[in-house]
Amino acid sequence: MTTGLSLRPTRFGLGFLLLVVLTLIGCVNYGLSLGYGLTFLLSGVWIMTAAPLNRVARGLTVHLDPPSHSVAGQTAPFVVRAHTSGPTGLLRIELRNGAAILAQATLRVPAGETARAVLYVPATTRGLLTLTSVPVAVLDPLGLWELRGALEVPEAVTVFPLPESGAPPAPLRQRAGSGEGRRRQPGQEDFSGLRPYLAGDSPRQISWRHAARTGQLLTRETDAPQGVARHLAWTDTAGETEARLSRMAAWVEALRAEGSPFSLELPGVHLPLGSGEAHALAAQTALAHYRPLPGQPVSAPRSPKPALPDGLALRATLLALGVALFPLVLRLPVWASGLTFALLAYAAVRTGRTLPPVPAWLLGLLAGLGGVALNAQYGTLLGRDGGTAILALLAALKSLETRSPRDGRLLALLGLFVTATHFFHDQGPLTALHALLSVAALLSAAALWVAPPPKTLTLRPALRLLALAAPVAVTLFVLFPRPDGPLWTLPLQGPAQTGLANQITAGEFSDLAQDDRVAFRADFQGAVPAPEHRYWRGPVFEAYDGVTWTQVRVPGPPPSVEPTGPVWTYSLTLEPNGSPWLLALDAPTRVPQGAVLTSSFQAATFRPSGTRRRYLLESRPARLGVSENRERLSFDLLLPEGQSPRARALAQSWQDFSPERRIEAALNYLRQGEFTYTLSPPTLPEVNRVDAFLFGSRTGFCEHYASSFAFLMRAAGLPARIVGGYLGGEINPDGGYMIVRQQDAHAWTEVWLPDRGWVRVDPTAVVAPARVNANLSTALTRPQATAAVEPGPAAQLRLRFDAVQNRWNDWVVGYDGAQQRDLLTRAGLGGVGSAPYLMVLPVLLALAFLPGLLVQRAQARPRDPAARALHDLGAKLGLPRAPGETITAYLERVADRHPDLREQLGEVRAAYHAARYAPGDPAAALLTLRTAVRRTRPGRRTGAGNGSR
C-alpha cells in the first residue's frame, strides 16, 4: 500500500501534549492532586491512541485512480478506494505538487469494507497535471497520531485546452480522391484496390483468395465519393498560442458532437482524417501537448474560508465547551456568566441559521472591555478567579470565529484546560465526575473534526478510550514523583473561605455563623478532646484602635510553653482558604514541616492554602507565656484615649482586686447583666462602642463579647488580647472524625496572669454556655443547654456524604509527597529515584498498558463469528486473508505455504461453508469451525490425520 511508514504526532497531537505538560506543571506547582489524575488520564489517552495504528495500517489497502484526462479551468477527479481487512481506520490522503496541497480528504474505512472518495484537483492550465507525491496517513479516532507513508505517484494527467466559448465554425475544405478520376476519400463503400498487409489491419479486409494463391497477405482498400471534410489547420487561427489552441479545441469538440470526420494539422503534428471518440481524444491530446507549454505551475487556488463550519461538529464542540464552563456559573459575576454563555449560544445558533458573523473589531472590543471589567472585579487577571474568568470569556469569543477543523480542535483544547482550572476551587468527587464528563464530551467533539462525522454524537468511544487509559493514569498517580514545594508562587486570590480575616470588627463572626460550609476536618489518632478543649487557634489580635482589632508582630525572645495535659495527635484537612493559618487545637506543640509556631502560639505555614491540604499536628493543654516578653505585655495594656469612659471606669474599680477576681468580676457583670447571644445585633457607633454594647444594646455575638471583655481587662490593668479561630466540631459517626464548619468560627480572650501566663477566658460561654457544650444552633435557641440535639435524618444523610468526601480527601486529594514516600517505603521500594523504584516503575507501566492493548486487539477482530475464526487462523499462521479473496483461494494459498496442514484446512473450509451457507441454526457449525481452527497448527497433524499414519 504505502512506503516509508513512520509514526508521529499530528499538530493537534502536539497541542494536546503541550496541554498535558502545562497542566502537569500547574499540578506540581500548586499540589492539585486531582489535577494529577486528569493529567495522567489525558497522557494515557495520548499514548493509547497510537497503539492500534500499525494494526490498522497492516490491513489497509489503498488505490488511487487518476482520471483519463481533464480540461483546463476545471477539476480533475482522482478516485480513492480504500479497503481494510482489520479494524476500522481513518485514512487521510493528500495530492501534492511540490509544497502545494492540490486536494486532500479524510475518509473512514469501516472494518471489512471498502470506502471511496473523490478528490477534485484544479487543472488551471493545459498540458500535464503532475503529482510529485501522494502522502497518506492512518489516523487515530481523535487525530492525535498519524502513521505516515506515501502511495505510488500516478502518471501525469493530460489537461486539454479549454474550448473557446462562441467559437466560429471550423472551415470547409475538399480533399482530392483516387480511382476513376473522381474526387474520392477513404470510406467503406467501394473497392479501390489492394495493398500489402500492415500490422493492425482488420482480418475482414484481408484478401484470403490472393493469400491462398500467392502466399502473400494483401489488404483490400475501399473509398467513397469525397464529400465536404473539415481540415483543422493551425494557419486558420491567429493570436496568442493559448487562444489559438482554445479555438481549435472548440472545433474538435463541436465536430466530435456532430460525428463529422476531420483532420488536424499543427506545426510538426499531422493527424489524418477520421472521426469518433478515439479520433477526437487524439486531437485533444495533440492540442494539450503542443509546445511550448504554459509556464505557470499547476497549483491549487487559495480556497476561501467557508461561511460556516460543519454544523454537527461545531454544535457538539460548543455543547462540550458549555459543559466544561458550567461550574464557572457558580463563581463568576452574573454579567460575566451571562455574556460567556450568550456568546456560546449565538455561535451555536449560527450553525443552523443564516445569521451575520460577528466582526473582528467587535470581538476585540468585547475582549478588551471584558478584561477591564474582570480586572476591576478581581484586582488582577493573573490570579485564580480573574484568570479563569478571562479564559472562559476568550474561549466563548473564539467560538464565534471558528471556521475550520483547526479552530474546532483549539476550542476542545481550551475546554480541557478550563476543566483543569476547576481544581483550583474544588477537588471533591462531584468535581471529579464533572471533569470526567467534560473530558469525554470534549474528546468526542474533537473526533468529529477528524473525519466526516456521523449523524449523531455519542460519548461511548471517548468513555471507552478513557477506560483503557485509566490503569495508566492510576499507576502514574501513585508513582509519579510528588515534590513538597511549589516551583514558583502566583496569587490564587479569591474571597476568604475560612471566615477569619486579618482583623476583627463587629459583625465579622456573626456573618460567618450563617455559612455551614466545612472549614476543616480533624481525624484524631486517639481519644477525642472534650468539648471544653475544642478551641482551634487561629490569628491573635493585639492592637486596638477603638473600632478594630488587628494583628501585630512584637520582637523579642519566644515565650515559654509548659505542657500540662495529654497529647492529642491528629491529621487536619484544611479546605482552601487562601490564608497561612493552621487551625491547630489550642495549644499546638508540634507543627508539620514547612510550618512555624509564632510568638503568639499561632501555627502558620509559609505557603497559603489555595487548595485542600492535609497536615499532621500535635497539641496538648499547656501554660503559655509564663515568661512573656515585657514589651508585649505593655503593648497588650494599651487602650485608645477617651474611648468608652463608662467601661473604663467600671474596670478601674476592680484594680484593687487580685487578677483572678478582676476576671471573675467582669464575667459576673456579663452573667448578671441580661446579655443576649444573637446573630443579628444592632449596629454600634464608631465612638464609645464598648460603652454602647455594655450599657446599651447588651446584644451581640462572640466578637462583641470578646472585644468588650478584652477592653475591660486592659482597663483593669491586665494584659489581654483576642484570639480568633473555631470552637467545637461535630463528630461524624461514619468515620469517627470531627467536622468543623465555617459557622463554628469563634473569638475568645486571653488574659495574662503572673505565674500562669496566658489564660483562655471565653466570655461568650458566660452568656451562652451551649456555645461550648453543644453547638451554634443550640446556643442560639437554648443558650443554657448542656448538650446538642441529636441530628435528624437529613443531617445524618449529610454526614454520610461528608464521610465519602473525607475518604476521598484521604485517598485522592490528600495524596502528596509524604504519603507517597510512606507508601513506597512500606512496599519495599525505598524512595523516589531509588534502584528498586526505577526497576519496578517501567514494569508496572507496561502492565498498566497491557489491558488496553489486549482490548484494542480484541476489537480489531471481525464481529462476524465465521470471519473472526478465519481472522484468528490468519493471525496464528501469519498469513492474513487478502481483501476480496475467497475462502477457497485463501485456504489454498495457506496450503501451498504449509502443505502438512492441507487436511486440517479442508476441515476448516467445510466447517466455514456449513456455518455460512447451511440451513438452520449455525451454532453447531460455528463450534466445529472454531475447533478446526484451534487444531490447525503448523508442524502437527491431528484427528483423522494421525490415524492414517
Residues 677 and 562 in one domain: yes
Per-residue pLDDT, 894: 85
| Buried residues in 607-624 as b, exposed as e (16+ CB within 10 A) | ebbbbbbbbebbbbbbbb
**91 membership: H or E segment, kind and range:** strand 89-97
Question: pLDDT over 70 for what percent of the chain?
Answer: 87
- Model confidence at 180: pLDDT above 50: no
| Highest-scoring range by mean pLDDT, 356-365, 599-608, 838-847 | 838-847
Cα separation, 887 vs 183, whole angstroms: 66
C-alpha distance from residue 749 to each of 335, 392, 625, 641 (Å): 43, 46, 15, 21
Nearest-CA neighbor of 60 among 80, 31, 36?
80
Per-residue pLDDT, 297: 47
Question: What predicted TM-score, i.e. pTM, was given to this entire model?
Answer: 0.75
3-state secondary structure 721-756: EEEEEEECCEEECCCCEEEEEHHHEEEEEEEEECCC
Per-residue pLDDT, 832: 85
Residues 212 and 232 in one domain: yes
Nearest-CA neighbor of 480 among 841, 47, 749?
841
Cα separation, 666 vs 656, whole angstroms: 14
CA angle in degrees (0–180, nearest 5) for 775-778-784: 100
Residues 710 and 590 in one domain: yes
Nearest-CA neighbor of 6 among 152, 146, 151, 153?
146
Of 746, 802, 810, 871, the active-site residue reads 746
Residues 620 and 708 in one domain: yes
Residue 26 counted as domain residue? no
Per-residue pLDDT, 188: 54
Radius of gyration of the chain (CA): 44
Identify which has the larger pLDDT, 396 or 200: 396
Identify the DSSP state of 578. Answer: S
Tens-place pLDDT, residues 73-98: 899 999 999 887 767 888 899 999 88
Burial (CB count <10 Å: 0-12, 13-18, 19+), residue 238: exposed
Confirm if 809 and 471 have CB atoms less than 8 A apart.
no
CA angle in degrees (0–180, nearest 5) for 796-799-800: 90
Amino acid letter, residue 658: S
Residue 207 counted as domain residue? yes
Cα separation, 482 vs 245, whole angstroms: 75
How do beta strands 757-761 and 730-732 pair? Answer: unpaired
User: Cell for 597?
Assistant: 509556631
Question: Mapping DSSP to helix (H, G, I), strand (E, B) and coil, where does residue 595 land?
Answer: strand
Per-residue pLDDT, 672: 92
Task: Specify whether 702 is catalytic.
Answer: yes
Question: Mapping DSSP to helix (H, G, I), strand (E, B) and coil, where does residue 2 land?
Answer: coil
Using N-to-C axis directions, what is the helix angle for 360-378 and 384-399, rounded to 10°?
Answer: 170
Confirm if 551 and 540 have CB atoms less than 8 A apart.
yes
Identify which has the larger pLDDT, 839 or 186: 839
For residues 135-147, give the mean pLDDT. 91
Per-residue pLDDT, 44: 93
Per-residue pLDDT, 100: 86
Cα separation, 610 vs 55, whole angstroms: 46
Instruction: Residue 513: count other Cβ atoms within 10 Å of its Cβ.
Output: 22
Residues 632 and 515 in one domain: yes
Confirm if 928 and 906 have CB atoms less than 8 A apart.
no
Per-residue pLDDT, 941: 45
Residue 560 counted as domain residue? yes
Contacts with 703 (C-beta within 8 Å, 6 or more apart), sequence order: 504, 505, 506, 507, 508, 509, 510, 722, 747
In the structure, how many helices (H) and strands (E) does the chain have? 30, 37
User: Could you tell me the pLDDT band of residue 182, with boundaries at 50, 70 and 90?
Assistant: very low
Cα separation, 614 vs 706, whole angstroms: 30
Residues 521 and 403 in one domain: no
Residues 551 and 684 in one domain: yes
User: Cell for 743?
Assistant: 459557622
Residues 401 and 508 in one domain: no
C-alpha distance from residue 916 to each of 698, 859, 894, 903 (Å): 94, 22, 20, 20
Cα separation, 643 vs 461, whole angstroms: 72
User: Could you tell me the pLDDT band of residue 947, with boundaries at 50, 70 and 90?
Assistant: very low
Range of the domain at 926: 861-947
User: Could you tell me the pLDDT band of residue 942, with boundaries at 50, 70 and 90?
Assistant: very low
- Model confidence at 46: pLDDT above 90: yes
Confirm if 409 and 143 have CB atoms less than 8 A apart.
yes
Tens-place pLDDT, residues 273-308: 888 889 999 999 999 999 888 765 444 444 444 444
Per-residue pLDDT, 307: 41
Confirm if 743 and 513 have CB atoms less than 8 A apart.
yes
Tens-place pLDDT, residues 676-716: 988 888 888 888 999 999 999 999 888 899 999 999 999 99
User: Cell for 84?
Assistant: 481494510
Tens-place pLDDT, residues 862-890: 667 777 787 778 777 777 776 567 788 88
Residues 658 and 784 in one domain: yes
Residue 167 counted as domain residue? no
Task: Specify whether 762 is catalytic.
Answer: yes
User: Cell for 182?
Assistant: 473522381
Cα separation, 445 vs 449, whole angstroms: 7
User: Could you tell me the pLDDT band of residue 946, with boundaries at 50, 70 and 90?
Assistant: very low
Measured over the CA atoms of residue 817, residue 820, residue 826 and residue 830, the dihedral's sign is negative
Residue 744 counted as domain residue? yes
- Model confidence at 59: pLDDT above 80: no
Per-residue pLDDT, 488: 64
Per-residue pLDDT, 219: 80
Cα separation, 763 vs 597, whole angstroms: 26
Stated length of the chain = 949
Per-residue pLDDT, 223: 61
For residues 891-915, give the mean pLDDT. 85
Measured over the CA atoms of residue 732, residue 735, residue 738 and residue 744, the dihedral's sign is negative
Nearest-CA neighbor of 576 among 425, 445, 463, 706?
425
- Model confidence at 174: pLDDT above 70: no
Domain end point (choices 90, 119, 151): 151
For residues 452-459, give the mean pLDDT. 68
Which has the minimum average pLDDT: 659-663, 937-941, 942-946? Answer: 942-946
For residues 382-397, give the mean pLDDT. 87
Nearest-CA neighbor of 283 among 241, 233, 224?
233
C-alpha distance from residue 212 to each of 191, 203, 219, 249, 940 (Å): 20, 14, 13, 47, 66
For residues 31-57, give the mean pLDDT. 89
User: Cell for 18?
Assistant: 503541550
Cα separation, 657 vs 716, whole angstroms: 9
C-alpha distance from residue 546 to each of 10, 475, 638, 647, 930 (Å): 67, 58, 11, 12, 92
Residue for grid cell 473509398: 223
Identify which has the larger pLDDT, 433 or 933: 433
For residues 25-29, give the mean pLDDT. 87
Cα separation, 581 vs 759, whole angstroms: 21
Q: How many domains does the chain have?
A: 6
First and final CA of the chain: distance in angstroms? 44
Identify which has the larger pLDDT, 114 or 301: 114
How do beta strands 229-233 and 172-173 pair? Answer: antiparallel
Tens-place pLDDT, residues 207-256: 777 777 777 888 877 665 555 567 889 988 988 999 999 999 999 999 88
- Model confidence at 49: pLDDT above 60: yes
Residue 798 counted as domain residue? no
Which has the minimum average pLDDT: 74-88, 505-519, 536-550, 834-848? Answer: 505-519
Residues 550 and 696 in one domain: yes
Per-residue pLDDT, 195: 77
Q: What CATH number does residue 108 fall under?
A: 2.60.40.10
Residues 136 and 254 in one domain: no
For residues 806-824, give the mean pLDDT. 85
Strands (E), 441-579: 503-504, 518-524, 535-541, 543-544, 549-550, 561-563, 568-574
Contacts with 799 (C-beta within 8 Å, 6 or more apart), sequence order: 730, 732, 733, 734, 739, 791
Of 310, 636, 762, 802, the active-site residue reads 762
Task: Specify whether 289 is catalytic.
Answer: no
Nearest-CA neighbor of 796 among 862, 851, 735, 708?
735
User: Could you tell me the pLDDT band of residue 428, with boundaries at 50, 70 and 90?
Assistant: confident
Cα separation, 554 vs 625, whole angstroms: 14
Cα separation, 207 vs 672, whole angstroms: 145
- Model confidence at 489: pLDDT above 70: no
- Model confidence at 795: pLDDT above 60: yes
Per-residue pLDDT, 650: 95
**876 membership: H or E segment, kind and range:** helix 865-877
Domain end point (choices 288, 319, 338): 288
User: Could you tell me the pLDDT band of residue 495, with boundaries at 50, 70 and 90?
Assistant: very low
Question: Mapping DSSP to helix (H, G, I), strand (E, B) and coil, where does residue 87 land?
Answer: coil
Strand partners, 563: 622
Of 702, 704, 802, 871, the active-site residue reads 702
Per-residue pLDDT, 176: 44
Per-residue pLDDT, 911: 84
Instruction: Residue 917: count other Cβ atoms within 10 Å of its Cβ.
Output: 9
Cα separation, 190 vs 27, whole angstroms: 96
φ and ψ of 19, to 5 deg: -60, -45
Tens-place pLDDT, residues 622-648: 999 999 988 999 999 999 998 999 999
**231 membership: H or E segment, kind and range:** strand 229-233
Residues 85 and 218 in one domain: no
Amino acid letter, residue 363: L
Per-residue pLDDT, 819: 85
Instruction: Residue 310: count other Cβ atoms within 10 Å of its Cβ.
Output: 19
Residue 474 counted as domain residue? no
Confirm if 702 and 783 have CB atoms less than 8 A apart.
no
Average pLDDT of every residue of the chain:
84
